[in-house]
Amino acid sequence: MILDSKIPEGPLAEKWDKHKFNVKLVNPANKRKYDVIIVGTGLAGASAAASLAELGYNVKAFTYHDSPRRAHSIAAQGGINAAKNYQNDGDSVYRLFYDTIKGGDYRAREANVYRLAQVSVNIIDQCVAQGVPFAREYGGLLANRSFGGAQVSRTFYARGQTGQQLLLGAYSALSRQVAYGKVKLYTRSEMLDLVVVDGQARGIITRNLITGEIEQHAAHAVVLATGGYGNVFYLSTNAKYCNATAAWRAHKKGAFFANPCFTQIHPTCIPVSGDYQSKLTLMSESLRNDGRVWVPASKETAERLRKGEIRVSDIKEEDRDYFLERKYPAFGNLVPRDVASRNAKQMCDEGRGVGGSGLAVFLDFADVIKRNGAEWVSQKYGNLFDMYAKITGENPYEQPMRIYPAVHYTMGGLWVDYNLQTTIPGLYATGECNFSDHGANRLGASALMQGLADGYFVIPYTIGDYLAQTAPKPVTTEHPAFKEAEAEVHARVQKLMSINGTRTPADFHKALGHIMWEYCGMARNAEGLQHAKAEIQKLRREFWSDLKLTGTDQEMNQMLESAGRVADFLELGELMIDDAYNRNESCGGHFREEYQTPEGEALRDDENFTYVAAWQFNGENQPEILNKEELRFENVKLTQRSYK
Amino acid sequence: MAGSNPNAKPMNLTLKVWRQRNRNTAGSIVDYQVKDISPDMSFLEMLDVLNEDLLRQGEEPVAFDHDCREGICGSCNLFINGRAHGPEAGTTTCQLHMRKFSDGDTITIEPWRSAAFPVNKDLSVDRSAFDRIIQAGGYISINTGGTPDANEIPIPKDIADRAFEAATCIACGACVASCKNSSAMLFVSAKVSQLALLPQGHVERKTRVENMVAQMDKEGFGACSNIGSCAAECPVGISLENIAIMNREYINAKATSNNLA
Ligand SMILES: Cc1cc2nc3c(=O)[nH]c(=O)nc-3n(C[C@H](O)[C@H](O)[C@H](O)COP(=O)(O)OP(=O)(O)OC[C@H]3O[C@@H](n4cnc5c(N)ncnc54)[C@H](O)[C@@H]3O)c2cc1C
Ligand code: SF4
Ligand code: FES
- When pLDDT is averaged across residues A396-407 and rounded to a whole number, the result is 96
Q: Does A240 touch chain B (CB under 8 A)?
A: yes
Tell me, in angstroms, the distance from the centre of ligand 3 to residue B69's CA.
Answer: 4
Interchain contact, B148 vs A136, CB within 8 Å: no
Find, in chain A, the residue whose alpha carbon is nearest to that of B5: A356
**Per residue in A476-509, pLDDT tens?**
999 999 999 999 999 999 999 999 999 999 999 9
What confidence tier does A640 reach under pLDDT thresholds 50, 70, 90? confident
The pLDDT, as a whole number, for residue A160 is: 83
Report H helices in A268-372. Answer: 299-306, 323-327, 337-349, 366-372
* Ligand 2 probe mutation, B77, B186, B241, most atoms within 8 A of CB: B186
Contacts of A306 in chain B (CB under 8 A): 2, 6
Nearest to A132 by CA among A113, A110, A109, A156: A156
- When pLDDT is averaged across residues A28-46 and rounded to a whole number, the result is 97
The pLDDT, as a whole number, for residue B3 is: 40
The class of domain A12-19+36-79+101-138+157-263+410-467 in CATH terms is: alpha beta
What confidence tier does A644 reach under pLDDT thresholds 50, 70, 90? low
What is the C-alpha end-to-end distance of chain B, expressed in Å? Answer: 62
What confidence tier does A642 reach under pLDDT thresholds 50, 70, 90? low
| CA pair distance B51, B41, nearest whole angstrom | 15
The pLDDT, as a whole number, for residue A643 is: 59
Does ligand 3 lie within 6 Å of residue B235's CB atom?
Answer: no
Does ligand 3 lie within 6 Å of residue B173's CB atom?
Answer: no
pLDDT > 70 fraction of chain A, expressed in percent and rounded: 99
| CA pair distance A197, A485, nearest whole angstrom | 11
Q: CA separation (Å) from A575 to A341, A520, A535, A537, B107?
A: 24, 11, 13, 11, 44
Give the ligand with the smallest distance to the CA of A446: 1
Does ligand 1 lie within 6 Å of residue A446's CB atom?
Answer: yes
* Ligand 2 probe mutation, B79, B85, B175, most atoms within 8 A of CB: B175
Interface A:B, Cβ pairs < 8 A: 240
Catalytic residue among A95, A249, A306, A337: A337
State the complex-level ipTM: 0.96
Given a cut of 80, whether residue A380 has pLDDT beyond it is: no
Tell me, in angstroms, the distance from the centre of ligand 1 to residue A386's CA.
Answer: 25
| CA pair distance A173, A297, nearest whole angstrom | 55
The pLDDT, as a whole number, for residue A361 is: 97
pLDDT in tens, chain B (261 residues): 334 454 578 999 999 999 999 999 999 999 999 999 999 999 999 999 999 999 999 999 999 999 999 999 999 999 999 999 999 999 999 999 999 999 999 999 999 999 999 999 999 999 999 999 999 999 999 999 999 999 999 999 999 999 999 999 999 999 999 999 999 999 999 999 999 999 999 999 999 999 999 999 999 999 999 999 999 999 999 999 999 999 999 999 999 866 554
**Per residue in A209-242, pLDDT tens?**
999 999 999 999 999 999 999 999 999 999 999 9
Tell me, in angstroms, the distance from the centre of ligand 1 to residue B72's CA.
Answer: 13
Question: Could you tell me which residue, A568 or A600, shows the higher pLDDT?
Answer: A568
* CB proximity list for A407: less than 8 A, separation 6 or greater: A230, A233, A235, A236, A237, A238, A263, A264, A265, A266, A280, A517, A521
| CA pair distance A356, B5, nearest whole angstrom | 7
Segment holding A463, helix H or strand E: helix A459-467
- When pLDDT is averaged across residues A305-327 and rounded to a whole number, the result is 95
Tell me, in angstroms, the distance from the centre of ligand 1 to residue A384's CA.
Answer: 21
Segment holding A215, helix H or strand E: strand A214-218
**Which residues 436-475 on chain A approach chain B with CB closer than 8 angstroms?**
456-457, 460
3 state SS of A402: strand
Amino acid at B16: K
The structural domains of chain B, ordered by start, are 11-120 (3.10.20.30), 128-256 (1.10.1060.10)
Question: Could you tell me which residue, A413 or A285, shows the higher pLDDT?
Answer: A413
Amino acid at A520: C
* CB proximity list for A156: less than 8 A, separation 6 or greater: A79, A80, A81, A82, A84, A124, A134, A135, A142, A143, A144, A162
* Ligand 1 probe mutation, A73, A214, A262, most atoms within 8 A of CB: A73
Interchain contact, A240 vs B66, CB within 8 Å: yes
**Per residue in A47-88, pLDDT tens?**
999 999 999 999 999 999 999 999 999 999 889 999 999 999
What secondary structure, in 3-state letters, does A482-531 show?
Answer: HHHHHHHHHHHHHHHHHCCCCECHHHHHHHHHHHHHHHHCCCECHHHHHH
Angle at A540 between CA A534 and CA A546, to 5 degrees: 130
CA dihedral (B139, B145, B151, B153) positive or negative: negative
Interchain contact, B3 vs A275, CB within 8 Å: no
Interchain contact, A275 vs B167, CB within 8 Å: no
**Per residue in A343-372, pLDDT tens?**
998 899 999 999 988 999 999 999 999 999
- Whether residue B194 contacts residue B167, with contact meaning beta carbons closer than 8 Å, is answered with yes
* A337 labelled catalytic: yes
Measured between CA atoms, how close is A277 to chain B, in angstroms? Answer: 7
Q: How many residues does chain B have?
A: 261
Choose the mutation target among A161, A231, A234, A273 for the interface with B, i.e. most B CBs under 10 Å.
Answer: A273
Q: Does A21 touch chain B (CB under 8 A)?
A: no
Nearest to A206 by CA among A226, A235, A220, A178: A226
Interchain contact, A550 vs B60, CB within 8 Å: yes
Domain boundaries, chain A: 12-19+36-79+101-138+157-263+410-467, 266-408, 486-630
3 state SS of A299: helix
Interchain contact, B142 vs A66, CB within 8 Å: no
The class of domain A266-408 in CATH terms is: alpha beta
Interchain contact, A140 vs B48, CB within 8 Å: no
Interchain contact, B171 vs A67, CB within 8 Å: yes
Question: For residue B240, how many other CB atoms are within 10 A of its CB?
Answer: 17
Contacts of A185 in chain B (CB under 8 A): 131
Give the ligand with the smallest distance to the CA of A79: 1
3 state SS of B29: strand
Amino acid at A620: E
Nearest to A143 by CA among A161, A122, A159: A159
The pLDDT, as a whole number, for residue B4 is: 46
- Whether residue A447 contacts residue A433, with contact meaning beta carbons closer than 8 Å, is answered with no
Alpha carbon nearest to ligand 2 atom 1, residue? B187
User: Widest CA span of chain B, in angstroms?
Assistant: 66
The HSE-up count of residue A227 (CA atoms within 13 Å, CB side) is 28
Q: What is the mean pLDDT of chain A?
A: 95
Span A486-630 CATH architecture? Up-down Bundle (1.20)
Kindly report which listed range (A64-78, A103-117, A326-340, A458-472) carries the lowest average pLDDT score: A326-340
- Whether residue B101 contacts residue B13, with contact meaning beta carbons closer than 8 Å, is answered with yes
Residues contacting ligand 2 via CB (< 6 Å): B 169-175, 186-187, 190, 234-236, 238
